[in-house]
């Protein structure tokens, strides 16, 4: 049975270092290649030889990355296929743990090499600082702590994932309950929301227990690496060379001063459209005019064709890329039995082509997802010429500029899917979503800054800090009667538990995307040319330069946010709400 939707895809560059044929799922065949790189290292005599060595290492890393992606894709496309599952698990359990120390060893060797200093600075500075950091932060005494941290993260996921409620005689997961918040019957929404929120609240103690242990471990890991607090450690660990905790605090302030007024206006409008005195927590997802959901397409082929037309309208190169993806069957978009949930874009790193996975069912959300994932795919296609494997990927702060920009840019042509009134409704919903997420990002980020700069805090102090942030960023929502739920709301935010400090990236990227979009309103061709030029850089330059190439400022204070909030407000004013 053919498990992958695409056929044979040859390596983008013919293999020079790797054997033409070998089994990438067999550690016995992989290990000698690492041995060989370590042996060759001893004989590197010139800068050119060191560069060649880096490319050989890149070739190996890309082939292994692609193997892992192929197995992941096969499994998510066929969750009911035992063979696909086995193949994926084999890689995760047998290959990955062997790989990690060997890759780390090569990083160490690179950092120790005397010729490293001779490499052209402009070309290698990003790779060099990332690799050096990776090596420097490693502490053997933290390995066991990190394993413990991973186990606790898994406990959090298990606990969250296991929660169900009885709703109208049926057992439902919390994820399944989300759709009831879009129902026009207000009491039904309330019932669904309460069930979910109270179910989570029942586990509050367990969430707190897990979190206390996580904080303790993280503080120890930071100490081992010589940092006085985990915040400063996390900023290094996440490779944040180009912004500081103070920049993040300025972002929080800017969101409060510039975005919250827009959010409050939107909330006031929603209140009047819904005809309610106050907005309750279950009133935010429903269409405020009680209209049925938008129906952008029936069959998934229609979605693909219409998305193609949007790219045709936008830019010839991007359109060409998406057409190639169709030709090579690098899309698996329809929802069907036996597919994993959700959507993602993955890159086959040796063939250097992107793949998009989705579960489209005919909702506006699917249109947003295909535009978003296509943005990531365009990024992957743009870096095909880059031979240094680490440079074919950019930092998340910029990867999401590629994808979020595409949502905003593509929205201009939503008439490919809808009548003009429906297209405007979709645009409005999208822009409102963009505004509404900023205060939540600021809340989650500011909360983590507080947590890791207040060592030894009590649960009560933590709760008070959270509530203070909710007061600041929560907007005009009426929580009366649900105070405990509000005080524990952060328990549902997975990042706080399992990806500490990782969340503001989305806010930073959204600011970039809004700038690309604002530029396109002045000159669409120029904005798209900048966008493509920046994508092409992959991860080869620091963030401020990637943003600059895309025609954006890498800056997240009021100076940047104020004009963007204004543009969004003007755009919303232009879109009729009925």
| Part of the chain binding Zn ion (CB under 5 A), chosen from 62-70, 400-408, 484-492, 506-514 | 400-408
Specify which residues 101 forms β-bridges with: none
Tell me the C-alpha distance between 62 and 253, whole Å. Answer: 41
| Part of the chain binding Zn ion (CB under 5 A), chosen from 12-20, 124-132, 301-309, 397-405 | 397-405
What is the DSSP code (8-state) at residue 259? I
Q: Interface residues for Zn ion in 299-338 (CB under 5 A)? A: none
Tell me the C-alpha distance between 347 and 355, whole Å. Answer: 6
| Residue 346 binds to Zn ion (criterion: CB under 5 A) | no
Please report how close the Cβ of residue 521 comes to Zn ion at its closest, in angstroms: 23
| Size of site (CB under 5 A) for Zn ion | 1
DSSP string, 408-472: HHHGGGGGGTS-HHHHHHHHHHHHHHHHHHHHHHHHHHHHHHHHHTSTT--HHHHHHHHHHHHHH
- 3-class state of residue 75 by DSSP: helix
Please report how close the Cβ of residue 535 comes to Zn ion at its closest, in angstroms: 14
Q: 403 or 520, CB closer to Zn ion?
A: 403
Q: Which residue is nearest to Zn ion (CB)?
A: 403
| Alpha-helix residue ranges (DSSP H) falling in 19-177 | 27-42, 47-77, 82-90, 96-112, 121-137, 143-162, 174-177
| Residue 540 binds to Zn ion (criterion: CB under 5 A) | no
Q: 345 or 549, CB closer to Zn ion?
A: 345
- Which residue do the tokens 């993040």 mark? 248
Q: How many CB atoms lie within 10 A of CB 227?
A: 18
Distance from first CA to last CA of the chain, Å, rounded?
Answer: 50
Beta-strand pair 164-167/170-173 = antiparallel
Please report how close the Cβ of residue 534 comes to Zn ion at its closest, in angstroms: 16
| Part of the chain binding Zn ion (CB under 5 A), chosen from 238-246, 298-306, 327-335, 401-409 | 401-409
| Residue 519 binds to Zn ion (criterion: CB under 5 A) | no
Tell me the C-alpha distance between 350 and 372, whole Å. Answer: 23
Please report how close the Cβ of residue 564 comes to Zn ion at its closest, in angstroms: 20
| Part of the chain binding Zn ion (CB under 5 A), chosen from 168-176, 193-201, 229-237, 403-411 | 403-411
Q: Where are the beta strands (DSSP E) in 227-297?
A: none
Q: 91 or 440, CB closer to Zn ion?
A: 440
What is the DSSP code (8-state) at residue 355? E
| Residue 510 binds to Zn ion (criterion: CB under 5 A) | no
Please report how close the Cβ of residue 74 comes to Zn ion at its closest, in angstroms: 22
| Residue 369 binds to Zn ion (criterion: CB under 5 A) | no
| Part of the chain binding Zn ion (CB under 5 A), chosen from 55-63, 85-93, 399-407, 490-498 | 399-407
| Contact pick of 58, 347, 403, 515 for Zn ion (by CB under 5 A) | 403
Q: 142 or 403, CB closer to Zn ion?
A: 403
Q: 377 or 451, CB closer to Zn ion?
A: 377
Q: Using CB under 5 A as the criterion, which residues of the chain lie in contact with Zn ion when the complex forms?
A: 403
């Amino acid at each position: 049975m053919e498990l992958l939707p695409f056929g044979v895809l040859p390596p983008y560059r013919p293999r020079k270092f790797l054997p033409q044929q070998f089994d990438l799922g067999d550690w016995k065949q992989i290990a000698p290649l690492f041995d060989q790189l370590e042996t060759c290292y001893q004989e590197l005599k010139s800068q050119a030889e060191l560069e060649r060595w880096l490319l050989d290492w890149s070739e190996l890393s890309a082939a292994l990355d692609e193997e892992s992606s192929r197995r992941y894709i096969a499994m998510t496309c066929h969750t009911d296929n035992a063979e696909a599952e086995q193949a994926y698990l084999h890689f995760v359990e047998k290959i990955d743990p062997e790989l990690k120390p060997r890759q780390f060893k090569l990083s160490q060797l690179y950092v120790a090499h005397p010729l490293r200093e001779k490499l052209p600075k402009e070309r290698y500075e990003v790779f060099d600082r990332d690799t050096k950091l990776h090596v420097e932060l490693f502490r053997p005494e933290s390995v066991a702590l990190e394993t413990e941290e991973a186990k606790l993260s898994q406990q959090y996921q298990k606990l969250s994932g296991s929660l169900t409620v009885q709703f109208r005689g049926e057992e439902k997961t919390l994820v399944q309950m989300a759709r009831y918040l879009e129902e026009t019957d207000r009491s039904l929404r309330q019932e669904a929301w309460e069930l979910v929120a109270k179910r989570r609240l029942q586990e509050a103690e367990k969430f707190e227990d897990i979190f206390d242990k996580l904080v303790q471990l993280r503080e120890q890991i930071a100490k081992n690496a010589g940092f006085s607090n985990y915040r400063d450690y996390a900023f290094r660990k996440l490779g944040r060379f180009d912004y500081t905790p103070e920049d993040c605090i300025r972002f929080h302030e800017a969101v409060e001063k510039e975005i919250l007024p827009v959010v409050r206006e939107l909330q006031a409008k929603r209140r009047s459209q819904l005809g309610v005195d106050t907005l309750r927590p279950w009133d935010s997802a429903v269409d405020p005019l009680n209209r049925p959901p938008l129906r952008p397409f029936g069959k998934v082929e229609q979605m693909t064709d219409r998305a193609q037309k949007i790219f045709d309208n936008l830019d010839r190169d991007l359109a060409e890329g998406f057409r190639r993806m169709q030709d090579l069957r690098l899309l698996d978009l329809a929802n069907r039995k036996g597919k994993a949930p959700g959507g993602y874009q993955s890159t086959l790193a040796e063939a250097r082509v992107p793949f998009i996975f989705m579960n489209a069912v005919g909702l506006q959300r699917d249109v947003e997802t295909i535009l978003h994932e296509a943005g990531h795919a365009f990024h992957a296609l743009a870096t095909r010429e880059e031979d240094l494997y680490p440079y074919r990927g950019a930092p998340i702060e910029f990867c999401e500029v590629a994808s979020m920009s595409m949502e905003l840019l593509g929205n201009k042509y939503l008439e490919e899917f809808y009548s003009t009134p429906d297209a405007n409704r979709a645009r409005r919903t999208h822009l409102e979503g963009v505004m509404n997420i900023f205060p939540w990002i600021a809340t989650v980020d500011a909360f983590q800054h507080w947590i890791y700069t207040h060592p030894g805090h009590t649960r009560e102090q933590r709760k008070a800090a959270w509530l203070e942030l909710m007061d600041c960023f929560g907007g005009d929502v009426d929580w009366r009667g649900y105070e405990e739920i509000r005080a524990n709301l952060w328990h549902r935010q997975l990042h706080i538990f399992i990806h500490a400090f990782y969340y503001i990236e989305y806010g930073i990227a959204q600011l970039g995307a809004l700038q690309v979009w604002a530029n396109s309103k002045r000159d669409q061709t120029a904005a798209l040319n900048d966008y493509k030029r920046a994508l092409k850089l992959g991860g080869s330059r620091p963030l401020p330069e990637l943003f600059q190439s895309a025609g954006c400022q890498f800056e997240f204070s009021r100076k940047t946010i104020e004009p963007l909030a204004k543009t969004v407000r003007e755009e919303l004013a232009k879109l009729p709400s009925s």
